[in-house]
Amino acid sequence: MVNEQKQKILKPNSSLSQSVCTKAERKLKALRNPAPCVWFGLGMMGLIGWSVVVPTLLGAALGLWLDEHHPGKHAWTLALLVIGLTVGCLNAWYWVIKEDKAIRDDEEDGNA
């Protein structure tokens, strides 16, 4: 709808009119999609933190259980703790990459 009005009102070759239209579209998009608040950022940090903590604690708990029920020459607790930490870090890395891609895609859609 905005593009139809833009084509009717403004000359397509004018750089000033293109600049004004781009800024107007950006402003309309910002009004439709308000920026996330501080709580959203804190929640995202919490989500990433929990995505590391949960696998680490699960690995440690499983290791303690294995050490108690199947004692052996090697400690399962430390090995599974490290494996859980690695899985958690990979999980957090996945979330950060996914969010970064979403932000970049959103910015590219706004500039197009």
Q: What is the pLDDT of residue 102?
A: 84
Site of tokens 């600049």 = 19
Q: What is the pLDDT of residue 18?
A: 80
Q: Mean pLDDT for each 10-residue chunk of the chain (112 residues)?
A: 54 70 78 69 78 94 94 90 96 89 77 54
Q: What is the pLDDT of residue 76?
A: 92
Q: What is the pLDDT of residue 13?
A: 57
Q: What is the pLDDT of residue 73?
A: 86
Q: What is the pLDDT of residue 36?
A: 67
pTM of the predicted structure, to 2 decimals: 0.59
Q: What is the pLDDT of residue 9?
A: 55
CA distance 101 to 107: 10
